[in-house]
Amino acid sequence: MRLRVRRRPVKYARLEVRPDGTVLVTAPDGFDVDNLIERHRGWLEDKLAKIGELREIAESGFPINGEFYQVIHGRKPKVHERFKTVVLSPNPNDVVDCLKRILRKELLPLVDSYAWGMGVEPGKVYIRHQKSRWGSCSPKGNLNFNVRLIALPRELREYVVIHELVHLKHMNHSKAFWELVGEFYPDYKTARRELKKWWTIVELNPHWKWLARGEV
């Protein structure tokens, strides 16, 4: 078990299992971390076992559209959806730019369609390589989407688009927010669970780790 302890002036200790399998404990000075670990050992072992299963899946190729494509190394990055292959060029930034272009072509029609249905007018749409979230909506109404979305099954990308567009009406996660999300994506609870699983898969995927060393 890889354990990392952060000492912070918090009231209650927090226990978290990161996508890479690291157990992170945030606790005040003097707190008995060993006792906390022992009390939650069963839960921790279960979480780590699930991450181990996802690691095996994550290492089976390059995730695109919820599938795992074969990786080929070449001079120019390209995604061959028909043949289920991804060409990775030597420069990770070039690969990220290629993935951004592909993703933008799919996301923009989705944004336009759902924005019309909701009666909202988003600002600019950005595709970025982010390390912490699938998407976000700024106070100015601009939408930010993570290039990692290209790894997801298309129905999950659709959910992320809906989620961020609903923020144009509700800049929070209130009951009203989730009710509106549910009108356009009734099974949003399942989507949220699946997004957590896929985030772990992308974090563990060796090719996305390589991409992360380029653009941030």
- 61-100 pLDDT tens trace: 999 999 999 999 999 999 999 999 999 999 999 999 999 9
In whole numbers, what is the pLDDT of the chain averaged over residues?
A: 94
Q: How many CB atoms lie within 10 A of CB 83?
A: 10
Burial 1-28 (b: 16+ CB within 10 A, else e): eeeeeeeeeeeebebebebebebebbbe
Give the pLDDT mean for 38-42. Answer: 94
Length in residues, the chain: 216
What distance in Å separates the CA atoms of residue 211 and residue 208, rounded to the nearest whole number?
Answer: 5
Class of domain 91-213: alpha beta
**Sequence-ordered strand ranges (E) for the chain:** 3-7, 14-17, 23-27, 62-64, 67-73, 78-80, 85-88, 125-128, 135-137, 143-146
**Rounded distance between C-alpha atoms, residue 30 and residue 179, angstroms:** 44
Q: Confidence band (pLDDT; 50, 70, 90) for 214? A: low
Q: Is the pLDDT of residue 21 over 90?
A: no
Amino acid occupying residue 99 = L
Arithmetic mean of pLDDT, 11-31: 92
Evaluated on CA atoms 190, 196, 201, 207, the torsion sign reads positive
pLDDT score at 131: 86
Predicted local confidence at residue 84, as pLDDT: 96
- Average pLDDT in the 134-148 region? 96
With vertex at residue 129, the alpha carbon angle to CA 54 and CA 91, rounded to the nearest 5 degrees, is 90
Of all residues in the chain, what percent carry a pLDDT higher than 70? Answer: 99
Residue 216 pLDDT > 60: no
Instruction: State the CB neighbour count (10 A cutoff) for residue 176.
Output: 12
**Confidence class for position 20, pLDDT limits 50, 70, 90:** confident
Which residue is listed with tokens 């999950």? 156
Question: Taken in order 163, 159, 53, 146, is the CA torsion positive or negative?
Answer: negative
* Per-residue pLDDT band at 215 (split at 50, 70, 90): very low
What is the distance between the terminal CA atoms of the chain, rounded to a whole angstrom? 28
- Convert the pLDDT of each residue in 152-195 to its tens digit: 999 999 999 999 999 999 999 999 999 999 999 999 999 999 99
State the pLDDT confidence band at 105, using cuts at 50, 70 and 90. Answer: very high
Q: Spell out the domain ranges in the chain.
A: 2-58, 91-213
Distances (CA, A) of 154 to 65, 161, 182, 195, 212: 6, 11, 18, 12, 22
Is residue 129 within 8 Å of residue 216, measured between CB atoms? yes
